[in-house]
Amino acid sequence: MNIPEIDLQRVVIIGGGFAGLNLAKKLNKNHYQVVLLDKNNYHTFQPLLYQVATSGLEPDSIAYPIRRTFKNAANFHFRVTEVYGINATEKTVNTSTGALRYDYFVIATGAKTNFFGMDSLENNSISMKSLVESLDLRSKIIQNFEKALYTKNLKEQEALMNFIIVGAGPTGVELAGALAELKNHVLPKDYPDLDIRRMKIHLVEAAPRILAPMSEVASKKAHEFLKKLGVHIWTNTLVTDYDGTLVTTNGKTDFYSETLIWAAGVKGNPVEGLSEENITRGNRIEVNDFLEVAGKESVFAMGDVALVHSNDTPNGHAMLGSVAMQQGIHLANNFNRLVLDKKRKPFVYNDKGTMATVGRNLAVVDLPKFKFQGFFAWFVWMFVHLMLLVGFRNKVIVFINWAWSYIRFDKGTRLIVRPYKE
């Protein structure tokens, strides 16, 4: 790979997600040559993927070109490439566009969908881990209603208008709420020839309650909000099989649906070249609290792909944007200390709380010392997400979209953008 050789130590980072982007931004480029590699030329704001999938936001408003973030940055190089693995002995990284030498190597490749070995679900469901997937889901949802207009067969219509969301973590809950808003406010106007009341949204969860990682009160309130919006919630229910139409569960209920959205789990997405001992729970790379990979000199991992194993965090941190962001900044500060001969600091997560939105005026927020729900929580959720979005233009576009939807009860991007098939 063609990167200039200069008289600075080279830090190669894979992944321009929350972790990689923050590390690359904060590294002192007077002291390091920074090379950022990503298979996409943009950063994705994953917390709003569900709004793209449900026609609330256009995809470009939650993604940001990586090159633009580093416009005019000295000693910084970005390349679009897929990283296959590393050779830690030779200190090289192997990519789809050739090999590259490193002095320090940082893995920030995030997570991928975990189907827990269930092939039928992997082959037939839709997941929502990338911009492309959420755009495809948007097309599928709208296409289902277009198809439903052409069938008189009630069972077929039921399958087209039934939406099964598996996994009631924040992603599943937010998606269910947004689909319910489409059903309640948008689809009846778009499809006057269909009885939209027959559309059903089923949220299926293996745990005894929804939003299991959040407080009991948040979970109870979110349950109440979703019920009010007309979502059917099935807790203690495990989906075991899906053939593309029939959803089989371990409970008494099976469903007919053309659309099963899998939001039930993710696992780490490490690259090749690490040893078996480096990979731990959830397919994540085990690191110490300096984010170093054991036995691999000058190799670090952070964000979703890394599990910080320490006495305080035997199971690591949750896979959250806030953790990834803090780790990126922390590692940059440690690199910057290194050149000043200052002692590095161990990573300590500053938990600022978690939140999930259910719909218009409805959200739940768990802060470390304070929990609240409803309108104020919804307002806080919007403000925080707007502030975290990368790029001023994106913030403005998202704000305008939200204001428009709020005033007009509308979702403006209901386009099918799949290749046309007979």
Ligand X SMILES: Cc1cc2nc3c(=O)[nH]c(=O)nc-3n(C[C@H](O)[C@H](O)[C@H](O)COP(=O)(O)OP(=O)(O)OC[C@H]3O[C@@H](n4cnc5c(N)ncnc54)[C@H](O)[C@@H]3O)c2cc1C
326 binds ligand X (CB under 6 A): no
Check residue 20 for interaction with ligand X (CB under 6 A): yes
Q: Length of the chain in residues, anyone?
A: 422
Alpha-carbon dihedral angle through residues 293, 294, 297, 301, given to the nearest 10 degrees: 0
| Residue 357 lies near ligand X (rule: CB under 6 A) | no
Nearer Cβ to ligand X, position 37 or 161? Answer: 37
Q: Which amino acid is at 130?
A: S
What x/- string results for residues 263 through 292 when contact with ligand X is judged by CB under 6 A? ------x-x---------------------
Query: For residue 229, what are the CA distances in angstroms to 48, 67, 206?
Result: 20, 41, 21
Closer Cβ to ligand X, 46 or 401, answer by number? 46
Which one of 98-106, 187-195, 273-281, 315-323 is the stretch in contact with ligand X (CB under 6 A)?
Answer: 315-323
Per-residue burial over 362-398, b if 16 or more Cβ lie within 10 Å, else e, is: bbbbbeeeebbbeeebbebbbeebeeebbbeebbebb
User: Which residues between 335 and 354 bind ligand X (CB under 6 A)?
Assistant: none
251: which 2 tokens? 């409970």
**107-to-14, 32, 36, 168, 331 alpha-carbon distances in Å:** 5, 17, 10, 29, 12
For residue 269, the minimal CB distance to ligand X (Å) is: 5
| Cα–Cα dist 123/143, whole Å | 19
Q: Which of 10, 15, 177, 301 binds ligand X (CB under 6 A)?
A: 15
Secondary structure (DSSP) of 19-35: HHHHHHHHS-TTTEEEE
Q: Which of 10, 18, 194, 405 binds ligand X (CB under 6 A)?
A: 18
Whether the CB-CB separation of 102 and 11 falls below 8 Å is answered with yes
Minimum CB separation of residue 358 from ligand X in Å reads 13
Contact status: 319 vs ligand X (CB under 6 A): yes
Q: How far is the CB of 21 from ligand X (least distance, A)?
A: 7
**Binding marks (x or -) toward ligand X, 170..189, rule CB under 6 A?**
xx------------------
Interface stretch with ligand X, choices 14-22, 202-210, 216-224, 391-399 (CB under 6 A)? 14-22
- Piece in contact with ligand X (CB under 6 A), picked from 12-20, 158-166, 196-204, 222-230: 12-20
Segment near ligand X (CB under 6 A), from 11-19, 148-156, 198-206, 234-242? 11-19
Beta bridge partners of 35: 12, 77
In the complex, least distance from residue 54 CB atom to ligand X, rounded to whole angstroms: 12
Q: Is 81 helix (H, G, I), strand (E, B) or coil?
A: coil
Task: Give the CB-nearest residue to ligand X.
Answer: 17
Closest approach, Cβ 66 to ligand X, in A, equals 8
Instruction: Sketch the per residue contact string, 46 through 85, with ligand X: x for CB under 6 A, - otherwise.
Output: xx-xx-------------------------------xx--
Measuring CA to CA, how many Å separate 300 from each of 232, 328, 414?
Answer: 43, 11, 42
CA–CA–CA angle 323, 327, 332 (5° rounding): 155
Contact 77, 101 (CB under 8 A): no
**Integer Cα distance of 205 and 239 in angstroms:** 8
d(CA 173, CA 50): 10
Write the interaction track for ligand X spanning residues 114-143; mark x where CB under 6 A is met and - where it is not.
--------------xx--------------
Is residue 110 close enough to count as binding ligand X by CB under 6 A?
yes
Q: Which of residues 22-41 bind ligand X (CB under 6 A)?
A: 37-40
Query: Which residue is it, tokens 């913030």?
Result: 395
Binding residues vs ligand X (CB under 6 A): 14-20, 37-40, 46-47, 49-50, 82-83, 108-110, 128-129, 170-171, 269, 271, 303-305, 319-322, 324
